Amino acid sequence: MDNRRRLLVLYATDTGNAQDVAERIVREGERRHYAPILHSTSSYEPNVLPMEENVIFVVSTCGQGDPPAMMKIFWRFLLRKSLGEHWLEKVNYAVFGLGDSGYQKYNMVAKKLDRRLSDLGAKPIVPRGLGDDQHRSGYEGALDPWLVNLWTALRERISLPSGLVEPSKDDLSNTQLDSPKFTVIYHSAPPVAELQSLTISANDALRSVEEDWTQHQRARVMMETAAGETPTIMEEGPGHGPDQAVFAKMVVNRRLTAQDHNQDVRHIEFDLGPNAVKYQPGDILTLIPRQNPEDVDSFLNRLSLDGDAYVTVEAARLEPACRWNDPELLQLGPVKIRTLVESVLDVSSASPRRYFFEVMSHFASAEHEKERLQYFATSEGRDDLYQYNQKERRSVLEVLLDFPSVQLPLEWILQLVPRLKPRSFSIASSERAHPNQAHVTLAVVEWTTPFKRKRRGLCSSWLSKLDPSQGEIYVPVWITKGALKLPAPSIPLILVGPGTGCAPFRAFVEERTVQSESGAVAPILFFFGCRKQEKDFLYKEFWQSCTEEDRVMSFNNGGGLFVAFSRDQSQKIYVQHKIRENRELVWRLLQSGAAIFISGSANKMPAQVTSCFEEIISSEGGVSREAAIRWLKQMELKGRFSVEAWS
């Protein structure tokens, strides 16, 4: 193979979509006689990037314009001043980004990467592509035409080696089934280690959770190893990663909203134990949800899988010397198929991706199902697939039940089913105010699909049903750093947290309350928003108590609580309206060096609130709107303007 036809495909993903796109590029490249090499940005050495000739980047944007965790080290390397404008002058590149235009910093990572690669001397093969989850076809609405342009540009740039013929459109659309990337080895009996107790806990409830978690971690590590993934770098110390999870005891699960309110919001308290991990205001509590056992059973039955059978999983292309019969590697497995499904595969909440339907078409025995699946896998069927699948949020299990003649082998199941992802929650408590505890504010996710089907979030519905009054409940959790960091007590705070966005600010206010007992603290303005005062004013008594006399949010000290009830009157009132009403107070705190923190839904709120602050800085400060934008940008660079938002 001509070395010029080597394509390096690098991806950085958070939910798995960018990896899915990168794997598609690899498949399509192989069909066109290229030699694609796939790496995550965490498994590739960036110092050898100048030696590449053609590089394709697929990157997603997280939160407020942040790169995925697996890209942070790679990105910091690219930002080195020592690299120079000619560092990548021999490299040709293409960038495709995955983002959501509902976020203020839409596809910011792809835009910054494109600009940085160009600054380092690299030359674009095609203009960058920007996938948008808001498109009627999702990110594939931009991906399909971008790939057409990419392959056309590469074909013009790099000629085929002698003896090879460019595949026709029919050849490309009628491809044979690719080889799966996993090999599954079945075992006739469990290993001896499986028959022994894995813990020494005296508490039966805790022992059961510990044993399950150990087996689930074993399955997850085995799958990560087989997939060639680099483990996520966690902080050292117990409680700072899934490999060192704390088994937290749930002690409170209380509904905050009125019983007749359409939104169920919960206050949950976890006891982290006497040797609890320490955390700071703004930190995140992370856990992996448990799937409904009935859904797991249905999935196993639908695919005729024996959940009690023991297997090990390895990369299909590993050399024989690296197989799982190595004694040290064998300690990670074998595991039960049921354990793999429970801990690794999201069978009941995640929607399968497009390649899932393409592979299914090869295993459909009913002709009408095969034809429909083949259509879904084409560009012509893209919009119909999006309406059937993503818009309806059909789960893997539901799709399999819709195509009963499809019988997928386990190797393909493990490759195609989306991974079960951890869920993260802003900690709603101060560790100094509640030693050995961590609180979270949980909204039970419920929605209606375009076809009027009721859906519930996997994690929120699971947690909401746990009742500590009915017996001891332990949940494996760990702590990660959040985007919000409480500044020194002398810094005034302007907090904007409608709905469950108030959670990290409950921690901020509790921490400032503790600090005020030993010294003076700066004032706090808190802008909260909800629908109705009597239905969903979360933590009402707590906020109001903090405004009394000389407490941290009292008006006497220059602070205040301002609440927008959007549905208590005919005209909707939101947090930005309350901010404008108190523009003089806001401007006074900004002049005294206040820090602004915004937390909540990423839909429109962060952009509207940010625009409101720009307006106040412009009008009260007597400067142009552009100067006000620069002002906020400088605040952001100094850590005095932070946004934490989620979809």
Q: Can you list the positions of beta strands (E) in 387-436?
A: 423-426
Beta bridge partners of 58: 11, 96
The vertex-263 CA angle with 611 and 395, nearest 5°, equals: 95
Closest CA to 426 of 584, 317, 283, 609: 283
572 annotated to bind ligand? yes
The DSSP 8-state label assigned to residue 244 in this structure reads: G
188 is an annotated ligand-binding site residue: no
8 A C-beta contact, residue 88 and residue 117: yes
Q: Is 575 annotated as a binding residue?
A: yes
175 annotated ligand-binding residue: no
Q: Is 73 annotated among the ligand-binding residues?
A: no
- Ramachandran assignment for 65, one of left (phi > 0), alpha (psi -120 to 50 degrees), beta (any other): left
Using CB atoms within 10 A of its CB, is residue 143 exposed (0-12), middle (13-18) or buried (19+)?
Answer: buried
Q: 63: annotated binding-site residue? A: yes
Residue 642 annotated as binding site? no
546 is in an annotated binding site: no
Q: Does residue 423 have a known ligand-binding role?
A: yes
Angstrom distance (rounded) from CA 501 to CA 563: 13
Asked if residue 32 lies in contact with residue 161, where contact means CB atoms within 8 angstroms, the answer is no
Length of the chain: 647
> What whole-number distance in Å separates Cα of residue 608 and Cα of residue 613?
9
CA torsion 307-355-396-210 (nearest 10°) is 50
Would you tell me how many other CB atoms lie within 10 Å of the CB of residue 397?
22
Report whether 618 belongs to an annotated binding site: no
Long-range contacts of 628-637 (CB under 8 A, 24+ apart): 632/596, 635/595, 635/596
473 annotated ligand-binding residue: no
Closest residue by Cα to residue 420 from 317, 510, 295, 511: 295
Q: Has 62 been labeled as part of a binding site? A: yes
Neighbours of 490 (CB within 10 A): 11
SS3 content of the chain, % helix, strand, coil (to 5): 40, 20, 40
Is residue 646 a known part of a binding site?
yes
Give the DSSP H or E segment for 186.
strand 182-187
The angle subtended at Cα 384 by Cα 382 and Cα 385, nearest 5°, is: 65
- Determine if residue 348 is labeled as part of a ligand binding site: no
Confirm whether residue 287 is marked as ligand binding.
Answer: no
Q: Is 133 annotated as a binding residue?
A: yes
Is 162 flagged in the annotation as binding? Answer: no
| 426 known ligand binder | yes
Name the binding residues for FMN: 60-63, 133
Q: Can you say which residues are annotated as belonging to the binding site for NADP(+)?
A: 500, 566-567, 572-576
Annotated binding site: 60-63, 133, 393, 423-426, 457-460, 500, 566-567, 572-576, 646
Residues that constitute the known binding site for FAD? 393, 423-426, 457-460, 646
